[in-house]
Structure 1
Amino acid sequence: MGSPDTHTTDLPEPVTPQGRDGLRALLARPGEAVIALDFDGTLAPIVADPEQARAHPDAVPALTALAPKVAAVAVITGRPAEVAVRHGGFADVPGLEHLVVLGHYGAERWDAATGKVTAPDLHPGVAAVRAALPGLLAGLEGVRTEDKGHAVAVHTRRAADPQAAFDALRTPLGDLAVRHGLIVEPGRMVLELRPPGMDKGVALERFVRETGARVVLYAGDDLGDLPAYGAVDTLRAGGTPGLLVCSGSDEVTELRERADVVADGPEGVVALLRTLADHLS
């Protein structure tokens, strides 16, 4: 690898001192850096039907250009790992031989090196809420469920008033989750009932420790990414530089307010990844 290009005029300027430190460290020491990314809304545009979501067409080429120049790349998603791999087109891609996909907020893991998924046993509460949801959601036009195997998601994006349906369901779904030992993870017009004990922050910190990385970039778009933002803040407080990227949207403002860099949705995130790869040539 040649010397990194530290002239950053075509890279976005981070708005915080910590973010500027993180970008400088990433450009100076890419071989010590972990690049971690959410999937839906970050690498893949949000669509009405989650089964139709696919990675931005330039996502895999950008990751392929960047991955050989950094310590590790991971996708951390609430989806099952195998689904994210399939929808992302990540399998058997030259240049992504060491990609890791952490599904179900890190409870599952797919390694490109083996092509295998490792996963925990099913939580019994998931089957219980799966059976209860049809009755609870009866008569709610446009509200649909998504069976994620280790979790169940309730989507309101197709309802006549998606936000009103989302707000109306938060309490009853929260009560249902508590009765069966689960938690509710809110997102962009979705409420996911899943087992406790794992989130994207825990997953990111474990992956950083595993790889021995000394620089981290995390990009996300939704409320489920806030724990990963918190993990980067913790790492920065301990001396590990980090860069927080928000895949911007009008639906969620919390990440935008905490981010060092705001990209224009998945297209902007992919462009940022490609520009980073170009600077590390």
Structure 2
Amino acid sequence: MRWVSDEGEQRYAALLQVAPDTLVALDFDGTLSPIVDDPAKARIHPDAADVLVALASKVAAIAVVTGRPARQVLDLGGLEEVADRMAGTGAELRVFGQYGAERWSSSHRVVSSPRPPAGLATFERDLPRLLRQADAADAWIEDKGLAVAVHTRRLDDAEAAFERLLPILTAAAESHDLEVEPGRLVVEIRGGGTDKGIVVDRLITSLPAKGVLFAGDDLGDLEAFQTIKAWAGEGLATLLVCSGSEEQSALVPLADVVVPGPDGVLELLSRVASDLS
């Protein structure tokens, strides 16, 4: 664990002071779950359930905010079982899938989801041609229902393939009024209207929260970091946690603390629960 500045430890102490009114919001891949070549084989960190349950009695709410479909992350994370164990703590577990387009909560256990965005079906029909154009025909395509993700991690030169694909997919997405969400060796094409910053902003307002801890690892978490930075300027107690990797460092300049992947995230959350005991 590395505090990025002297203010980081001060922010940590201030957050503990308002813990009962604090929102803990967490990305899934790279934060609660290690990054793997096949996203379908991702599993939540083995310590996560115990840590989240221990934390639940200390804070106002815990939210998982992810680019994955909500149902998928519920299953991969065993989050419905976590919610069962959290019952009686007073904290609600919420899941926001596909950057907030899908929602689930421990008090209303049904995934709410809109229709797929206009233009997505046509984009997907064009996708094989676009992959050939980028010399990345073997890239793995993940259909998320409301989005499509193109992964280059399995290719021989994954980074080079990603760099070739990004401008081609971006141009095609824009022609279909879709948005591009680049990540760690993945390009996701989705509809607009929501992002992790919007999700966090609404959660802070609706609780209402006096503090927020957010942990993420990738470009898709950037809007959440920026939104929370703005709230910090309004006097909210905040702690921004970067789940560090060699593949992505965009969040580091905004973070208060950098931790070594999901192991570090769970260690930090355990420390929060322990310091509040």
Aligned pairs for 1:66-81 within 5 A: 66-81=55-70
- In the TM superposition, residue 114 of structure 1 has moved relative to its aligned partner by 2.3
Quote the Cα distance in structure 2 between the aligned partners of 1:46 and 1:15: 23
Aligned pairs for 1:52-131 within 5 A: 52-93=41-82, 94-97=84-87, 98-131=92-125
Matched, 1:222 2:218: yes
DSSP-derived class of the 1:254 partner: coil
| 8 Å Cα contact 2:33/2:262 also seen in 1 | yes
Q: Residue type matched to 1:241 in 2?
A: A
Aligned CA RMSD, in angstroms, stands at 1.5
DSSP-derived class of the 1:249 partner: coil
Matched, 1:167 2:163: yes
| 8 Å Cα contact 1:37/1:75 also seen in 2 | yes
DSSP-derived class of the 2:188 partner: strand
Q: Deviations 1:6-51 (Å, cap 9, x if unpaired)?
A: xxxxxx5743355334311221121010000000000000000011
Q: Percent identity?
A: 47
TM-score (norm 1): 0.92
Quote the Cα distance in structure 2 between the aligned partners of 1:174 and 1:44: 28
Residue in 2 that maps onto 1:3: none
Aligned pairs for 1:1-281 within 5 A: 14-16=3-5, 18-93=7-82, 94-97=84-87, 98-138=92-132, 140=136, 142-281=138-277
Quote the Cα distance in structure 2 between the aligned partners of 1:20 and 1:107: 34
DSSP-derived class of the 2:56 partner: helix
Residue in 2 that maps onto 1:9: none
Q: Residue type matched to 1:112 in 2?
A: S
Shift in CA distance, 52/193, structure 1 to aligned 2, threshold 3 Å: same
Quote the Cα distance in structure 1 between the aligned partners of 2:225 and 2:7: 13
Structure 1 stretch 203-212 or stretch 17-26: which is displaced more?
17-26
Figure out how many residues of one structure are paired with residues of the other and give that number: 270
Quote the Cα distance in structure 2 between the aligned partners of 1:67 and 1:228: 21
Q: Deviations 1:191-212 (Å, cap 9, x if unpaired)?
A: 0001112111111101111110
Quote the Cα distance in structure 1 between the aligned partners of 2:109 and 2:52: 18
Q: Residue type matched to 1:39 in 2?
A: F
Show structure 2 runs of 5+ residues with no match.
Answer: none
Q: Residue type matched to 2:86 in 1?
A: L
| 8 Å Cα contact 2:23/2:204 also seen in 1 | yes
| 8 Å Cα contact 2:2/2:259 also seen in 1 | no
Quote the Cα distance in structure 1 between the aligned partners of 2:201 and 2:189: 23
